[in-house]
Amino acid sequence: MGVDKEITKIANYINFPIKGKLSFTEDNIIQMKEKDKFIIGFSTIVNFFHDLNEKEQTQQSIENYYLTKQFFDFANVFIRSTSKRDKYAACLELNEYLETRSYLIGQSLSLADLVVFYALNDIMVQLSPLEKENYLNLSRWYDYLQNQPPILQTGKVINFSTIHLLGWNTARA
Amino acid sequence: MLLYTYPENFRAYKALIAAQYSGAKVDIAPNFVFGETNRTESFLKKFPLGKVPALETDDGKYLAESNAIAYYVSNAQLRGASDFEKAEVLQWLSFADNEIGPAAAAWVYPALGYIQFNKLSHERAKQDIARSLERLQARLVNNTYLVGERITLADIVVFTSLLSLFQHVADPAYRKPFFAVNRWFNTILNQPQTKAVVKNFTFCEKETPFDPKKYAEFQAKFGGGAQQKEKKEKEKKEKQPQQPAAEKKKKEKEAEPAEEMDEAELALAAEPKSKDPFDSLPKGTFNMDDFKRVYSNEDEAKSIPYFFEKFDPENYSIWYGEYKYPEELTKVFMSCNLITGMFQRLDKMRKQAFASCCLFGEDNNSTISGVWVWRGQELAFGLSPDWQIDYESYDWKKLDPSSEETKKLVTQYFSWTGTDKGGRKFNQGKIFK
């Protein structure tokens, strides 16, 4: 999933009108036009949403506000890394982190969940059922998010059935 | 809507948390006094069982049973999205009531001093709860919540049924293997809707031990047969090595306030009171429990004189019972089983009776006889139909408590010495107490 698509989905989720605002710079960096100015770069745009979202429904503590930003960078640097090792290390780390947590931040959904969720999509579709089972907590969390229609939007549901044969079967079909 | 309940009732929590989600307006009835308000005629007219929580709707309808009330005040999300999800919610409500509820009570109530501690039921309850947590774990490893991908009434109800366990008895080591349950429990606990209702929750750091003092206080306040219970407790104490009761936690609050109990808890606390057949006989001055304690703790050189000193011949009697069919006795261990089996069938007699039964001789050449003491002057076995299985296999002879011969016989049997009439040597003895 391209970054433009991810940003569109996040914008949809927070009800931010995005039509026709996205483009790429000459260096192929995503940018968003907002009131005659360009906001450049994935992290910058997401942080812009984050602040917007906070203004509308300020429920996060300052600590969680910055923790959320940290997850934006985490998604950008590790999950989207070109190195396969980085990617899997990120999955492992998330899996461990989610053992004691239902959500990335606090005890409810936040933009951190969304950003990491969309960024993970490319990795998750490629995981074999056995790998999914190794990332037990990550899989549980991912499955939860993809079952929320406002988050999934037009995306495809990934099979997390723990019945191996069924999983293989649907993966091939 | 008006909800009748005493404070911090986990059953009322179900409805109160559900109402936080749905926005249903539920007020707690003011001035409700448990044990008084719910005994009044006007309350019983509305709720014939007199149980709480109980709900009175704005248009004057009445609803009892916490699950029903919680369901009523829920919204569509909490009840489940599809017919199947609704059924799943129901499944977890039953799970909470049937699988968690009874075992949780058996484990938590002694810690709170509501009921007597019993090692066996304590261990069994711990195992049962572990099994239930495993069941929850199996679901929560793969799913964030119990039903579908949203919080439902299932989460709320199962959560409330675990509250007292996680607060009083399930220490970190016990909870540790159930990481997914812990994750989920924390999430539910920290939802704003839960936080608005459940206050003052802290995770158990160390299992609250049974405190006989707390139990005695509670019994004095609520228990019907408080005295009887206390006696029983003493008896238990002497049987079981003392649990670490000495180090009482300072931070621990005094006995839970009376209002904490609801009917179900009270019923549990009051244990089924089957009538003691000995009740019809005068109590006299001989204290069976005291004697048994002395007998267990002291040497026979002390306990036997103690027996004769305290014995009340007016209200108690001493008997000699001899097995009628010694020729049928073969292996010693089988004969011993015969005795212990009889003791077990006479279980309810224990409170007011004491006996020492001895087996003399060896395999294929042995006799069984014993000295019995019980309240009343007649053969006690007539008092209850439950006690009449074995006694006809014995010849019973009432002994004269003042005669020297009786003293000799009592001494011999209580101290497990000597021979039977045929000169067979003492082999094994069993004490009924």
Q: Are B225 and B315 in a shared domain?
A: no
Question: What kind and span of H or E run contains A53?
Answer: helix A42-56
Confidence band for B364, pLDDT divided at 50, 70 and 90: confident
For residue B53, whether the previous peptide bond is cis, meaning omega lies within 30 degrees of 0, is: yes
Structure tokens at B331: 């292996």
Distance of residue A106 Cα from the nearest chain B Cα, in angstroms: 9
Domain containing residue A151: CATH number: 1.20.1050.130
Confidence band for A171, pLDDT divided at 50, 70 and 90: very low
Give the orientation angle of helix B300-310 with respect to helix B404-414, to 10 degrees. Answer: 140
Contact B244, B210 (CB under 8 A): no
CB atoms within 10 A of CB B152: 25
Give the full edge-to-edge strand order of the sheet including B2-4. Answer: B27-28, B2-4, B54-56, B62-64
| Distance separating the N- and C-terminal Cα atoms of chain B | 55
Tens-digit pLDDT profile for residues A21-64 = 899 988 889 999 988 889 998 989 999 999 888 776 656 788 88
Please report whether residue B68 resides in a domain.
yes
Structural domain span for residue A8: 3-172
Q: Of B53, B100, B48, which Cα lies nearest the Cα of B73?
A: B53
Domain containing residue B338: CATH number: 3.30.70.1010
Q: Are B333 and B204 in a shared domain?
A: no
Residue B231 has a pLDDT of 45
Tens-digit pLDDT profile for residues B230-264 = 444 444 444 444 444 444 443 343 333 434 455 55
Please report whether residue B16 resides in a domain.
yes
Percent of chain B with pLDDT over 90: 45
Residue B385 has a pLDDT of 78
Confidence band for B89, pLDDT divided at 50, 70 and 90: very high
Q: Are B310 and B267 in a shared domain?
A: no
Domain containing residue B213: CATH number: 1.20.1050.10
Structure tokens at B46: 């509305």
Q: Are B54 and B202 in a shared domain?
A: yes
Q: Are B163 and B225 in a shared domain?
A: yes
Residue A161 has a pLDDT of 73
Q: Are B94 and B211 in a shared domain?
A: yes
Average pLDDT rounded to a whole number, residues B408-418: 88
Residues 6+ apart with CB under 8 A from B404: none
Nearest chain B residue to A145 by CA: give it. Answer: B149
Cβ–Cβ gap A136/B142 under 8 Å: yes
Structure tokens at A114: 């969304």
Q: Are B134 and B179 in a shared domain?
A: yes
Structure tokens at B169: 């008895």
The residue ranges of DSSP E strands in B171-297, in sequence order, are none
Cβ–Cβ gap A101/B182 under 8 Å: no
Confidence band for A129, pLDDT divided at 50, 70 and 90: confident
Q: Are B300 and B202 in a shared domain?
A: no
Please report whether residue B193 resides in a domain.
yes
Confidence band for A172, pLDDT divided at 50, 70 and 90: very low
Tens-digit pLDDT profile for residues A2-12 = 888 999 999 99
Structure tokens at B15: 């409805």
**CB of B195 within 8 Å of any CB in chain A?**
no
Rounded alpha-carbon distances, angstroms, from residue B230 to A29, B119, B214, B293: 80, 17, 12, 14
Contact B64, B274 (CB under 8 A): no
Q: How far apart are CA A31 and CA A40, in angstroms?
A: 4
Percent of chain A with pLDDT over 70: 91
**ipTM attached to this prediction:** 0.82
Nearest chain A residue to B194 by CA: give it. Answer: A107
- Please give the tally of structural domains in chain A: 1
**DSSP summary character for residue B274:** P
Q: How far apart are CA A72 and CA A152, in angstroms?
A: 19
**CB of A101 within 8 Å of any CB in chain B?**
yes
Please report whether residue B279 resides in a domain.
no
Tens-digit pLDDT profile for residues B163-189 = 999 999 999 999 999 999 999 999 999
Distance of residue A46 Cα from the nearest chain B Cα, in angstroms: 26
Cβ–Cβ gap A99/B149 under 8 Å: no
Residue B274 has a pLDDT of 54
Please report whether residue B42 resides in a domain.
yes
- Please give the tally of structural domains in chain B: 2
Q: Are B419 and B328 in a shared domain?
A: yes
Q: How far apart are CA B311 and CA B306, in angstroms?
A: 8
Q: Are B347 and B227 in a shared domain?
A: no
Please report whether residue B388 resides in a domain.
yes
Structural domain span for residue B6: 1-240+254-273
Structure tokens at A82: 């070109």
